Amino acid sequence: MRRSLLLAALFVLIAAPIAWSQRRAYVLPNEKYDGRFTFVRLRYTQGYRLAWNADYPQMERNFMAILGDLSTLRLHKNTSNVHVLDDPELAHYPVAYLTEPGYWYPTDEEALALRKWILKGGFLIVDDFYFERQWQVFEAGMRKVMPEGRITPLNVSHPVFNSFFSIKTLDGMHHPATPEARAVYLGIHEDNDPNKRLQVVINYNNDIGDYMEWSGDGWYPVNLSNDAYKFATNYVVYGLTH
C-alpha cells in the first residue's frame, strides 16, 4: 500500500505540470481592432514561455465584466488580445499587461519595439512576481527596454491610485504565494519626472491577476479580490487618460 501511495504521489507530481502546460499552451483568436477598449496581454518568446499566460483568459473575462459594469467604456467583454512585444498591431492599443516578468527575457528587437510603444504613449502594467531572483530578471529586462528609466516607489497620493477609485492605502495586499511579503508599487515616469506621465506601473509582491481570476470561486478573501479590481480599474483608466 505504501508503495502504491508513493507511486500515485509521484504520478501527480509529474503529471500536474504537464497538464498545466497543456491546458495553457494556447492563444485564443485576437479581436480585430474596432476602436473599443480591448484588454491586451503581452506574450514573451524567451525564458519560460508559458509564464506570460498565467490566469489567462479567465482573469481578462472577469475584469472586463467588472469594468464594463463600473464604467461607460465601450469595451470587448468576452474577448481579449495577446500580442508579442514587437507586433505592429500593438500600436492600436494604449494599455498592455505583462505578467510573471520573473521569467521574461526580451530580445533586442522586442525591447526596442516595447520601448517605442511606451514612448509613444503606451502604458505598461507589470504584475505577478515576488522574490529577489524574479526582481533581478524583471529589472534586467526593463533596463533593456528603458535603459534611461529609473524605477521609483509610488505613494498613495499618486494620480494612478486616484484615477477612478480613491485608494486610501497601499497596505493590505500581498502575493498569494507569500503572505508575509507585502505588496510594493513602483513606476517609471516620463523623463524620470514624477510630475509627468507614469509610463510603467509595477506590482511587486502582488498578483492582482490571480485575485481577479479566482474572484468568483472563494479562494481568496473578498477584500483582496475587490482591491485587485480597484487597482486594475485605476490602471486602465489612468492609461486611457494620460
Which domains occur in the chain, in start order? 2-241 (3.40.50.12140)
Residues in the chain: 242
pLDDT for position 25: 55
Any idea which residue has 477598449 for its cell? Answer: 37
Give the separation between CA 101 and CA 48, rounded to whole angstroms.
10
| pLDDT band at residue 20 using 50, 70 and 90 as cut-offs | very low
pLDDT, tens digit (0-9, with 9 covering 90-100), for 194-221 = 999 999 999 999 999 999 999 999 999 9
Torsion angle of the four alpha carbons 169, 209, 68, 62, in this order, in degrees rounded to the nearest 10: -130
| pLDDT band at residue 26 using 50, 70 and 90 as cut-offs | confident
Contact 98, 137 (CB under 8 A): no
Kindly state the average pLDDT of the residues 57-86. Answer: 97
| pLDDT band at residue 2 using 50, 70 and 90 as cut-offs | very low
**DSSP per residue over 71-129, as a string?**
S---B-SS--EEEETT-GGGGG-SEEEEE-GGGB---HHHHHHHHHHHHTT-EEEEE-B
pLDDT for position 1: 45
Rounded to a whole number, what is the largest CA-CA distance in the chain?
66
pLDDT, tens digit (0-9, with 9 covering 90-100), for 133-167 = 999 999 999 999 999 999 999 999 999 999 999 99
Any idea which residue has 512585444 for its cell? Answer: 85
Residue 42 burial (10 A CB sphere; 0-12, 13-18, 19+): buried
User: Is the pTM higher than 0.85?
Assistant: yes
Average pLDDT score, the chain? 90
pLDDT of 130 above 90: yes
